[in-house]
Amino acid sequence: MPVRLIDSLASTAPLAEVFSDGSILQALLDFETALARVESRLGIIPAHAAEAIAAVANPSNFDIAQLSEKTLRAGTPSIPLVKALTQLVRGRDAEAANFVHWGATSQDASDSALALLLKRAQPIIESDLARAQSALHALSEKHKATTMLGRTLLQAAPPITFGLKTAGWFAAIRRGQQRLSSAFAAAFILQFGGAVGTLAALGAQGPRVAEELAIELGLTVPEAPWHAHRDRLAALMCACAVLTGSVGKIARDISLLMQNEVGEVAEPESEGRGGSSTMPHKRNPIGCTVIIAAAGRMPGLIASYLSTMVQEHERSIGGSQSEWPTVAAVIQSTGLAAASMAEISEGLTADPERMREHLEATRGAIYAEKATMLLAAKIGREEAHRLVQEATRRAGAQNRKLAQVLREMPEATKHLANSALDNLAVAEDYLGAAEYFRQRLLHKSDTAIKKD
Amino acid sequence: MPVRLIDSLASTAPLAEVFSDGSILQALLDFETALARVESRLGIIPAHAAEAIAAVANPSNFDIAQLSEKTLRAGTPSIPLVKALTQLVRGRDAEAANFVHWGATSQDASDSALALLLKRAQPIIESDLARAQSALHALSEKHKATTMLGRTLLQAAPPITFGLKTAGWFAAIRRGQQRLSSAFAAAFILQFGGAVGTLAALGAQGPRVAEELAIELGLTVPEAPWHAHRDRLAALMCACAVLTGSVGKIARDISLLMQNEVGEVAEPESEGRGGSSTMPHKRNPIGCTVIIAAAGRMPGLIASYLSTMVQEHERSIGGSQSEWPTVAAVIQSTGLAAASMAEISEGLTADPERMREHLEATRGAIYAEKATMLLAAKIGREEAHRLVQEATRRAGAQNRKLAQVLREMPEATKHLANSALDNLAVAEDYLGAAEYFRQRLLHKSDTAIKKD
Amino acid sequence: MPVRLIDSLASTAPLAEVFSDGSILQALLDFETALARVESRLGIIPAHAAEAIAAVANPSNFDIAQLSEKTLRAGTPSIPLVKALTQLVRGRDAEAANFVHWGATSQDASDSALALLLKRAQPIIESDLARAQSALHALSEKHKATTMLGRTLLQAAPPITFGLKTAGWFAAIRRGQQRLSSAFAAAFILQFGGAVGTLAALGAQGPRVAEELAIELGLTVPEAPWHAHRDRLAALMCACAVLTGSVGKIARDISLLMQNEVGEVAEPESEGRGGSSTMPHKRNPIGCTVIIAAAGRMPGLIASYLSTMVQEHERSIGGSQSEWPTVAAVIQSTGLAAASMAEISEGLTADPERMREHLEATRGAIYAEKATMLLAAKIGREEAHRLVQEATRRAGAQNRKLAQVLREMPEATKHLANSALDNLAVAEDYLGAAEYFRQRLLHKSDTAIKKD
Amino acid sequence: MPVRLIDSLASTAPLAEVFSDGSILQALLDFETALARVESRLGIIPAHAAEAIAAVANPSNFDIAQLSEKTLRAGTPSIPLVKALTQLVRGRDAEAANFVHWGATSQDASDSALALLLKRAQPIIESDLARAQSALHALSEKHKATTMLGRTLLQAAPPITFGLKTAGWFAAIRRGQQRLSSAFAAAFILQFGGAVGTLAALGAQGPRVAEELAIELGLTVPEAPWHAHRDRLAALMCACAVLTGSVGKIARDISLLMQNEVGEVAEPESEGRGGSSTMPHKRNPIGCTVIIAAAGRMPGLIASYLSTMVQEHERSIGGSQSEWPTVAAVIQSTGLAAASMAEISEGLTADPERMREHLEATRGAIYAEKATMLLAAKIGREEAHRLVQEATRRAGAQNRKLAQVLREMPEATKHLANSALDNLAVAEDYLGAAEYFRQRLLHKSDTAIKKD
């Protein structure tokens, strides 16, 4: 089952498979089969009915085209599916046909099926996130001493290490993945409430059936049916969006570092990847591209989901029904971002020499802050700022080094030792707590520090 | 090609078809074929090359699964497609293989193909909008004298006519459809700029090829290539959203009027439509449901599109690449809303008796405004408001008619003639300009009236 | 400081106050003062400097109009603020002026100030959420046996209790509030990284200053500076949105139940609340209105926040700078929804009689499911569904009770005891697990039930 | 009235003024005054009443804090405003107090006031757009022959001219401004329908009052009242978003060209603009920053607006009430983007030398496409692509020029004349239709070319 062309830049194949016709049908049938099995075990329906249902509940027995067409008329896939399933069961065991979908409502099936699909999607996404974290962790360790320009507002700023930068990327993915894991767990939840969430059709046995059904399907039992309360799913969608936003930030950084004029890192090369139909010289940052595209679609998708939370009464009109394509798009975009980030970070090459060249190319201007701090202790911050700004301007205009220009300014030399000026532009001398923070990013979490 | 299950409540079949693999592939091939034909006509490539390209450019010759997979690696469908096409051409005419995609860049093909797909989608949507307008027009004429409750903030208010209400619906769709038509027309636009939008690879012949290519494809020639300027498409997406918002408002109204406690209108019934898997008595407003769902997804989809307008330089990273699923979802949701509204409005039944019952059930409270206006001329608006509010409260508490209560209040009878009180609750007497506005809605447009 | 007119339906006064000029200025000054205090304590700047800074760091000493104007030119409020503060300090202690903002960057001040503002907002919102939960809990207990219509797709469905419905509302708010609390806690986080997040200007003392500064401000120390990593704030915004979506769902329910034709509950009345400028009889659901409005704005606001997560390098261009109005709008909308829900739920009146009337008005049609289940055990679910659907149709057409019609259908009486038909339409007999679920909603959380 | 600190990076002062308390109050009072004047002229209310109303309808007579507080309780600013106005009128002319707000409903006042505010905003925005267009036009003319790198997917591509690039920017703003003008014009529309849009309280005179009132206020008369049909405003919001998206694209381009490593253009410098609180050497692209921030907020704001289009019946619950802050934010963001773009484009400096350096720095790699086309005519496109790709790789690895490498490859020299290789890397020789398109962008619009 290939990814459709329309989605070919918006999903990986495994996640497209999760939301394929066959997979959805299977999940819906899993619900019906498990329900029958549980109800038979509890003596609510005959054992042979459960057997007959299980026997025919195979996606290959169903006509997807018909199901799809009838779904639009019925407003839910469950109605035509249950009808078709009942027909099949009847063909095998006429009496059994009476016990299909016993005590459930359409949304019980479709929401529980959605939970099952999400459960299939999670390991796919999380394994890619784990790969990305592991690769970024290694990159950070490898480049803990590789100095490079810090860049703020797209302008050159004092130095950092590439190790610190990648550690920041790593920690952002780790935080996002932790939120995602929790949100996924909270969304693996049974829906089973019958028509209005009371399971009235099952009399006193409703809660028992619900518990067994959850076990059967590997889902959690919620406090109560949640047909019109979508907060757990909304929280999952949001966790996807926050993670994808962080991955998008990393891709943005990498794509900027890959500009020809910068050229400090490069996405891995491979056959068929990142070429151009017309320009043989191009190495396009395709991995970053699909991530940035995913991060661009995501905020709107989340808005779509959130705006359908305002649902009417026990089951809504147009709320849950609008969710499926949105949920699929969110999960697929998240998974594509994760997969692409895994691939990029595992193959990312860095060019410490180019990094150093760009540090040098600033001719010390990026140490203006440092010069200011050195002077400020003597002549005050504002006066120092003014002085260094003037020196910076002169250095820029004359294409000279900041330290050289300062050396010629008596106000500066009066307060700055020669050695200070000699070392002004040594990146390693102006890294502050870069390594301290890098290690915390790799190894710690935010620490609550309270006043006692 | 059935609608996929995941989209089964989010698209009609004809619009799913427009964005199907076969249709996309055809559109991409149409571009390549037309390009070759034009270039051959202008003597840029040999005639036999154009023939060979046309001969093999058939979707059935391509492996969608492979194309889709390679698209994700290439970052665009055009690269693998052109490669596969070239392979096929070579099989037929080795020399011709040199002239595939001559002078074009990937995005030329994908954007022009998108324009072709939009062109296929438009008549489908517009014909449903025409059906809806025609049906609503007829409903308005039929019910021009059918009085019903006005309702503000979901509370009973003075009377309107059902004819006025449906005329308001009609005019909203008409305005939306006019905006949509213009936006569609502006988006049926050729993309043809080569690598950076200069058509340099075609030397001096670029503009001529562009013009002929546009004619060949039935598209407009833009001022210039627009790879990173997506405003025309953005404007089309917005026009879809505004229309769908209006259709959503109508569906919201209808679904509220269909509540059991209201029951003033009903969606048409038909086999397999609006039933419940568990509740045999249900007639669910399925048409409204899918419309409201579409209108719920739409704002987020538009945000997704708009947020990718900020594209880099001559062709962006992650901008245009993220568009296809968004554009498809917008067009499909719009078309589903239009189709469903056409079906609903053609079969909508109204119950003038229930409408009248609800007018009566207010016991005249909704004429409190009228009573206030009558009294205000005599005792002032505020005093009148106070007096009528008191009467309304009393009438409510005692389950009596407002006119009756007023008749017992000397402050009121002093200023209100008996006849005025007799006619207080005659809906037909308090319709104001309802019929005037109804006719304008059916026949006029907003009129600019300027001070001279 | 009143709420501005433009926001008067979009914020409560206390939350407007949190984001007022004075409050923002105070938070920015709190950062500068605490920084000086800590640096003086650690011997980095002289003690008299910290004293001088603290002495003048009073909002009343600043010209807001100038600050605001200069902020737009500087791209951050901190630059003009620090300049003005330095000027003031100089007036008091010329040497001290050198040590203002020592070692910090603009975004350190603005992000930490934002955290302080959020910390002020939290208790305001949470106390309203606590009020709402407490009131809904009490409503649920009071109405645990009050039966009413379940409603699905805005159509009458089998009975529930008003206690179950309100328990569902309660639990949704509780879940939302729990998510919100966690997200708030994670966002009360210091920003302190200097120009590029290395605190290089403070040499080896950076981390120590950060820790002390966090204690001083009552904030958490993050793993590392997070200038361009906004995931914690994004997660807080999302938690606000999910909660507001849930509150919006409750307001939607209440507003529907308040329709004149339904009239089962009413918002509390009070002077100046919910009237109409023209219609003295109106009692508009104003509390629900502002909640639904807030829930309508929210998804888009979240999209705005999320779309700025893709930030460049160490500090972004246009990312963090676009956040403030979005964050304020999100927090204010959330707080308004919470406050309004608190007020509504504390004063909500229910009309059990109207609820019962609507149950009766269905003439038993809502028990069609029950009749089907009773029959299905005998004649199969599909045949039973068909039979009861026919009976329901007949009952509807003839304005008779479903039980009466069934009594005349031999296929039904053959399988249904007289007593079953007598009790068919007793709501209390068809509540299933309503009370069980109600108690779980009030007292439990989702329980993970695992297969062993 | 300064811009509030919270909005200081999100609005210009003139547009903050438009939505200030005083301005809103004035617009609401303008409506009430004009209504009274017209009704007096038509003999509906006494002349002295209109005079008294006009006499006191001055913003300075009102207590904004009280109005704002009461608005939240009333659900609309009009109710407390009309009450306060009536009180003031009564103090001057007791009888006149009876005729305040005669025949209007709250939303008539608030929607018409909104139209008046929009009318004040338009010229502010359009004049900045005109400045930007004029400056970009001049830049394009000045740099029509300035060659620079084309850049696709953030990678170097064949040359363009800076004149073509700026012409593309110009035309995008022109198209956006044209859409905006039309949308503004359609939104300058009177709202006047009374309680339910029938103007019943004015009897037969309603339409006449509406027409005169529109003239008085300088607004258009709509087909009919449009309380719950918000499509015209939605279309205006969308036009703002599309324009801001285009401006955002330009700001993105400029900010990328301003990177230190690129340095091809620079925002204008001025006092207090774009500095850093810590880094004296910085020249931050502040103008681009606030534009990109505005373009980042916009899609979500549009989603907020669109999602409230689904409004109930004659006047909605939570629809129109949620609009004001959204509309203000959209207009202010659009205006800030326009103002900032005007300032940037008027002062933008370009560095043709740096542009040329970057062309050279590619060592001809960007002419790989050209070389391919030259060879393709001889040896076929695919073989040529392969050959040139190999040459490009070799040139990259050896830091040599593409032409040099090709000169050493017999497969190339066999088909390429020496002169062709000599001129391979002359940018001026590979501009294709750049100048043709530049002139069309400056002077033409999209041309519909139809097959005859």
Q: Report whether pLDDT(D242) > 80.
A: yes
* DSSP H helical ranges for D188-281: 206-217, 231-257
Contact C309, C234 (CB under 8 A): yes
Rounded to a whole number of angstroms, the distance from the CA of A386 to the nearest CA of chain C is 12
Lowest mean pLDDT among B245-254, B282-291, C135-144, D149-158: B282-291
- The pLDDT value recorded for residue B189 is 97
What values do phi and psi take at C175, rounded to 5? -60, -45
- The pLDDT value recorded for residue A448 is 43
Q: Which of B180, B178, B196 minimizes the C-alpha distance to B188? A: B180
The DSSP code for D97 is G
C392 and B307: CB-CB below 8 Å? Answer: no
Give chain D's mean pLDDT: 93
- The pLDDT value recorded for residue D347 is 96
Lowest mean pLDDT among A268-277, B367-376, C3-12: A268-277
Q: Which residue of B has its CA nearest to A321?
A: B293
Query: Measured between CB atoms, which of A75, A299, A307 is closest to B296?
Result: A307
C21 and D9: CB-CB below 8 Å? Answer: no
* Domains D1-104+192-223 and D356-451 in one fold: no
Q: What are the tens digits of pLDDT across the range D94-148?
A: 999 989 999 999 999 999 999 999 999 999 999 999 999 999 999 999 999 999 9
Which residues of B sit within 8 Å Cβ distance of C? 152-158, 255-256, 258-262, 276, 278-286, 289, 299-300, 303, 307, 358, 361-362, 365-366, 368-369, 372, 385, 388-389, 392, 396, 402
- B126: part of which helix (H) or strand (E)? helix B106-142
The DSSP code for D428 is G
Q: Report whether pLDDT(A279) > 50.
A: yes
D311 and B252: CB-CB below 8 Å? Answer: yes
Q: Which residue of B has its CA nearest to C297?
A: B299
The pLDDT of C390-408, averaged and rounded, is 91
Q: What are the tens digits of pLDDT across the range C273-302?
A: 766 666 666 678 999 999 999 999 999 999
Give chain A's mean pLDDT: 93
Q: Which residues of C3-40 are buried (b: 16+ CB within 10 A; e: fewer)?
A: bbbbbbbbbbebbbbbbbbebbbbbbbbbbbbbbbbbb
Q: Which residues of C293-313 are buried (b: 16+ CB within 10 A; e: fewer)?
A: bbbbbbbbbbbbbbbbbbbbb
The pLDDT of D434-439, averaged and rounded, is 98
Q: Which residues of B342-368 are buried (b: 16+ CB within 10 A; e: fewer)?
A: bbbbeebebbeebbbebbeebbbbbbb
- The pLDDT value recorded for residue D380 is 78
Question: Domain spans of chain B?
Answer: 1-104+192-223, 107-189+226-351, 356-451
Contacts of B292 in chain A (CB under 8 A): 317-318, 322
Q: What are the tens digits of pLDDT across the range A22-35?
A: 999 999 999 999 99
Above pLDDT 70, what percent of chain A? 96
Q: Which of D259, A274, A295 minimizes the C-alpha distance to B310? A: A295
What share of residues in chain B are helix, strand, coil (percent, to 5)?
65, 5, 30
Q: What are the tens digits of pLDDT across the range C259-274?
A: 999 999 999 987 777 6
Confidence of residue A373 (pLDDT cuts 50, 70, 90): confident
* pTM of the complete model: 0.96
From CA A210, how far away is CA A213, in angstroms rounded?
A: 5
Q: What are the tens digits of pLDDT across the range D332-384?
A: 999 999 999 999 999 999 999 999 999 999 999 999 989 988 888 788 777 88
Length of chain A: 452
The DSSP code for A418 is H
From CA B59, how far away is CA B49, in angstroms rounded?
A: 19
Low-confidence ranges of chain B (pLDDT < 50): 448-452
Query: Measured between CB atoms, which of D103, D168, D369 is closest to B224?
Result: D168
Report, at the CATH architecture level, how domain B356-451 is classified: Orthogonal Bundle (1.10)
Residues 6+ apart with CB under 8 A from C189: A446, C115, C219, C220, C221, C222, C226, C232
- The pLDDT value recorded for residue B451 is 40
Q: Report whether pLDDT(D281) > 70.
A: no
Best of A7, A8, A279, A308 to disrupt the B interface by mutation (most B CBs within 10 Å)? A8
Contact D221, D211 (CB under 8 A): yes
From CA B348, how far away is CA B140, in angstroms rounded?
A: 12
Q: What are the tens digits of pLDDT across the range D42-99?
A: 999 999 999 999 999 999 999 999 999 999 999 999 999 999 999 999 999 999 998 9
- The pLDDT value recorded for residue B382 is 79
Rounded to a whole number of angstroms, the distance from the CA of A1 to the nearest CA of chain C is 32
Contact A71, B6 (CB under 8 A): no
Q: What are the tens digits of pLDDT across the range C302-346?
A: 999 999 999 999 999 987 767 999 999 999 999 999 999 999 999
What values do phi and psi take at D242, rounded to 5? -65, -45
Q: Which chains reach chain A with 3 or more Cβ–Cβ distances below 8 angstroms?
A: B, C, D
- The pLDDT value recorded for residue A56 is 97
Contacts of D311 in chain B (CB under 8 A): 249, 252
User: What is the amino acid identity at position D324?
Assistant: W
D150 and B198: CB-CB below 8 Å? Answer: yes
The CA–CA distances, whole Å, from C26 to C120, C189, C210, D423 equal: 12, 17, 20, 65
- C443: part of which helix (H) or strand (E)? helix C434-443
- The pLDDT value recorded for residue A277 is 61
C195 and A153: CB-CB below 8 Å? Answer: no
Best of B9, B252, B261, B389 to disrupt the C interface by mutation (most C CBs within 10 Å)? B261
Confidence of residue C452 (pLDDT cuts 50, 70, 90): very low
Q: Which residue of A has its CA nearest to D373?
A: A278
Q: Which entry of D8, D182, D276, D445 is annotated as an active-site residue?
A: D276
Confidence of residue A450 (pLDDT cuts 50, 70, 90): very low
Q: Token digits for D184?
A: 């503004």
From CA B167, how far away is CA D343, in angstroms rounded?
A: 47
Q: What are the tens digits of pLDDT across the range B149-174?
A: 999 999 999 999 999 999 999 999 99
Q: Token digits for B229?
A: 């300027």
Q: Which entry of B8, B68, B182, B276 is annotated as an active-site residue?
A: B276
Above pLDDT 70, what percent of chain D? 96
Contacts of C99 in chain A (CB under 8 A): 381
Confidence of residue C174 (pLDDT cuts 50, 70, 90): very high
Query: Measured between CB atoms, which of D25, D273, D291 is closest to C73?
Result: D273
Cα dihedral angle (A14, A19, A24, A26), rounded to 10 degrees?
0
The answer to whether domain C1-104+192-223 has CATH 1.10.275.10 is yes
Rounded to a whole number of angstroms, the distance from the CA of A364 to the nearest CA of chain B is 30
Best of B317, B330, B343 to disrupt the A interface by mutation (most A CBs within 10 Å)? B317
Q: Which residue of D has its CA nearest to A287?
A: D153
Give chain C's mean pLDDT: 93
Query: Measured between CB atoms, which of A73, A289, A322 is closest to B75?
Result: A289
DSSP one-letter string for B236-295: HHHHHHHHHHHHHHHHHHHHHHTSTTT-SEEPPP-TTSS--SS-TT----HHHHHHHHHH
Residue A391, classed as helix, strand or coil, is helix
Q: Report whether pLDDT(D450) > 70.
A: no
Q: What are the tens digits of pLDDT across the range B330-368?
A: 999 999 999 999 999 999 999 999 999 999 999 999 999
- The pLDDT value recorded for residue B452 is 39
Query: Annotated catalytic sites of A, by residue?
Result: 276, 315
* CATH number given to C107-189+226-351: 1.20.200.10
From CA D178, how far away is CA D246, in angstroms rounded?
A: 13
The pLDDT of A207-220, averaged and rounded, is 98
Cα dihedral angle (A173, A179, A182, A188), rounded to 10 degrees?
-90
Q: Which chains reach chain C with 3 or more Cβ–Cβ distances below 8 angstroms?
A: A, B, D
From CA C264, how far away is CA C349, in angstroms rounded?
A: 8
